[in-house]
């Protein structure tokens, strides 16, 4: 993580990255429109929680949090894996934004 990226190094998500400087606001890019004050929500996960969606504004511009959770949970209920549900969410957001 010394380069500002959070990487998954094992399991089904190996190779995926989250650019923390972009996700949390990079002060040097503020002059180009990057928001430097991130929205942060702290929540203690409980056994009854079934999904956690980490997404950028591309998803949140297309869906409310309730819509995103509904889409992901509907996909899982149809037997899709977490990866497949995530891909459905992202692809659906792209379709909406491109219209």
pLDDT at residue 2 tops 60: no
Token couple for 24: 């949390």
Q: Residue 4 above 70 pLDDT? A: no
Rounded-to-integer distance, Cα 28 and Cα 32, Å:
9
pLDDT at residue 56 in the model:
81
**Mean of the per-residue pLDDT values for the chain?**
81
Q: Which residues pair with 17 in a beta bridge?
A: 7
This prediction has a pTM of 0.62
Q: Residue 92 to residues 20, 55, 60, 67: CA-CA distances in angstroms?
A: 24, 13, 12, 11
Place 24 in a pLDDT band, splitting at 50, 70 and 90: low
């Amino acid at each position: 993580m010394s380069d500002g990226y959070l990487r998954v190094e094992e399991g089904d998500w190996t190779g995926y990255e989250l650019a923390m400087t972009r996700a949390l606001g990079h002060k040097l890019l503020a002059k180009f429109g990057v928001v430097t004050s991130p929205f942060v929500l702290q929540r203690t996960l409980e056994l009854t929680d079934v999904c956690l969606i980490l997404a950028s504004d591309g998803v949140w511009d297309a869906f409310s949090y309730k819509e995103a959770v509904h889409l992901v949970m509907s996909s899982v209920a149809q037997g899709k894996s977490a990866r497949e549900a995530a891909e459905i969410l992202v692809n659906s957001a792209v379709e909406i934004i491109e219209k």
